């Protein structure tokens, strides 16, 4: 254990620079005249250090405004906590505190005193504007403050260089080689500012981000995802957001369209919905659904990687529409053809003579239409060469065009049959509907309710951790 000191004058006999000591025996103080001046006196079991500066106008020493008082325990060497100059070099780490005091004060707001001692039970305690601290903890804090100061200076220089280079290009058309001049950890500052809890909406963020900022962030995050910078848990969370959060919004729009009870899209309700979702005028309910699937299909069907809409076909003179609604390319490079009707169309009619259900005329036309499209695509009867090229570039081989799978989306549970049914007929409906749609080779029939149910079940199975 170091020797306890009791007399400050004896203590400073070993002070390296006697020329800057000014000992006033009558006042029992020591003045150290250096870059930063100190006046020291004994205060019970501590040495009290006050910081002063020279007032050039009044030509006197004045206590530094809003500066702390430093108390060093009598079992410690106070010289270790005093800044003095020796051969034009600073020898004490305490100098960092004096230089960066503004940062220290921001950490410990309204601090008045620092008391350094090994006797304290805890490494550090800040109470009633007094910081009581052990020497090793104070040194640790000062090193962190020094690192903070370096980061502040580094960020200022990096920003200045970046903006100067922009001006060079703008004013002189001089390009400067791009370099990464930021230090590890500096990016956290801007991210933290943008991620404050006060910024809750898109508009809150856009107050601080222009289009250039947003495009730069998009490019950076895309690179970070592709280069696997983010950890797996975060990427899984992104997937969950993409699937669950976005899919919930997609389903809300779906339900609003299904709430339309008429093919007439000129009603106020229909116009308001169409303008809100698509920002354009649409004159047919079937087109509303086609636009919806074009915009949101990949949120509903995750097995597809590409949508090619309205590929015009040849030799379909018997059909009013010369193209299927969508050609979808799955992750195995095979194609599915999608034909969209509306949720108000019926699929079945009751055949009273045979006491069973049959396909409605609307459903029969859709099946015939589908088969004709299927044959044309299998025979590569694609009218425009650019459409054929666009389609084939996503397939491994042209043979993947042969016998595509066809999906027809039509009707809803309320409209499967437009006749009023008895309880017995309702029970028969489920059986006949299953038989009829399973009897058609390579064509799948889904109602809008069934697609919606698949999406909702998918959401239900996603669990956030």
Residues 188 and 257 grouped into a single domain: no
Residue 372 has pLDDT above 50, yes or no: yes
CA 28 to chain centre: 63
Same domain? 194 vs 70: no
Question: Do residues 67 and 187 share a domain?
Answer: no
Is residue 212 located within the same domain as residue 248?
no
Query: Among 103, 128, 148, where does a domain finish?
Result: 148
Q: Is residue 436 classed as helix, strand or coil in its secondary structure? A: helix
Does the residue 171 lie in any domain? no
Express each pLDDT in 34-83 by its tens digit: 655 666 777 778 888 777 766 677 766 666 666 778 888 888 877 666 65
Beta bridge partners of 130: 113, 127
Tokens of 237: 């969370």
Amino acid 448: pLDDT: 92
| Domain boundaries, position 181 | 177-227
Same domain flag for 73 and 209: no
Q: How far is it, in rounded angstroms, from Cα 217 to Cα 230?
A: 14
Domain identity same for 118 and 263: no
Beta strand extents in 246-293 (DSSP E only): none
Give the total number of structural domains in the chain: 3
Asked whether residue 135 falls in the same domain as residue 278, the answer is no
Beta strand 304-309 with 124-127 is unpaired
Same domain, 83 and 104: yes
Q: What does the block give as tokens for 103?
A: 């940062």
How many CB atoms are located within 10 Å of the residue 246 CB? 12
Q: Model confidence over 161-214: pLDDT tens digits?
A: 878 888 887 887 878 777 766 667 677 777 777 777 887 788 888 888 888 888
Whether 357 and 437 have beta carbons less than 8 Å apart is answered as no
In three-state secondary structure terms, 420 is coil
Q: pLDDT digit string (tens) for 239-269? A: 777 777 778 888 888 898 888 888 888 888 8
Mean pLDDT of the chain: 78
Asked if the model's pLDDT at residue 96 lies above 60, the reply is no
Same domain, 53 and 92: yes
Please check whether residues 56 and 78 belong to one and the same domain: yes
- Residue whose pair of structure tokens reads 């029969």 in the numeric block: 364
The SS3 assignment for 323 reads coil
Q: Is residue 163 part of a domain?
A: no
Average pLDDT over residues 303-312: 77
pLDDT the model gives residue 181: 67
Same domain, 319 and 386: yes
State whether 48 and 189 are in the same domain. Answer: no
400 inside domain: yes
Helical (H) or strand (E) element with 233: helix 232-240
Query: How many angstroms separate the CA atoms of 385 and 103, rounded?
Result: 69
């Amino acid at each position: 254990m170091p020797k306890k000191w009791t007399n400050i004058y004896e203590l400073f006999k070993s002070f390296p620079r006697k020329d800057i000591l000014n000992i006033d025996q009558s006042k029992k103080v020591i003045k150290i005249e250096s870059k930063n001046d100190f006046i020291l006196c004994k205060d019970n079991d501590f040495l009290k250090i006050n910081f002063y500066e020279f007032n050039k106008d009044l030509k006197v020493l004045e206590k530094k405004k809003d500066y702390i008082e430093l108390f060093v325990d009598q079992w410690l060497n106070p010289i270790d906590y005093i800044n003095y100059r020796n051969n034009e070099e600073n020898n004490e780490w305490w100098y960092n505190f004096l230089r960066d005091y503004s940062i220290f004060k921001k950490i410990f707001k309204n601090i008045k005193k620092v008391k350094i001692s090994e006797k304290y039970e805890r490494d550090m305690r800040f109470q009633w504007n007094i910081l009581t601290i052990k020497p090793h903890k104070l040194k640790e804090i000062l090193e962190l403050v020094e690192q903070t100061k370096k980061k502040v200076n580094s960020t200022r220089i990096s920003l200045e260089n970046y903006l100067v280079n922009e001006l060079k290009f703008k004013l002189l058309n001089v390009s400067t080689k791009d370099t990464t001049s930021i230090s590890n950890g500096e990016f956290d500052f801007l991210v933290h500012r943008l991620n404050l809890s006060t910024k809750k909406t898109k508009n809150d963020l856009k107050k601080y981000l222009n289009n250039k900022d947003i495009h730069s962030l998009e490019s950076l995050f895309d690179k970070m995802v592709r280069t696997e910078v983010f950890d797996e848990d975060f990427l899984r969370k992104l997937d969950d957001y993409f699937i669950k959060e976005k899919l919930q919004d997609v389903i809300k729009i779906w339900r609003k369209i299904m709430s339309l009870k008429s093919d007439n899209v000129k009603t106020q309700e229909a116009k308001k919905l169409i303008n809100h979702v698509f920002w354009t005028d649409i004159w047919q309910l079937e087109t509303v659904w086609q636009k919806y699937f074009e915009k949101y299909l990949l949120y509903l069907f995750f097995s597809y990687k590409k949508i090619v809409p309205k590929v015009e076909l040849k030799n379909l003179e018997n059909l009013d529409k010369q193209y299927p609604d969508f050609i979808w390319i799955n992750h195995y490079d095979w194609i599915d053809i999608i034909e969209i009707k509306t949720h108000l169309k019926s699929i079945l009619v009751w055949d009273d003579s045979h006491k069973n259900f049959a396909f409605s005329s609307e459903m029969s036309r859709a099946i015939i239409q589908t088969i004709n499209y299927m044959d044309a695509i299998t025979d590569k009867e694609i009218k425009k060469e650019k459409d054929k090229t666009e389609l084939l570039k996503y397939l491994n081989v042209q043979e993947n065009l042969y016998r595509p799978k066809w999906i027809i989306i039509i009707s809803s549970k309320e409209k499967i049959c437009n006749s009023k049914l008895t309880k017995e007929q309702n029970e028969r409906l489920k059986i006949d509907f299953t038989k009829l749609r399973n009897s058609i080779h390579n064509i799948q029939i889904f109602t809008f309710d069934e697609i919606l149910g698949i999406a909702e079940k998918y959401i239900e199975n996603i669990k956030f951790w």
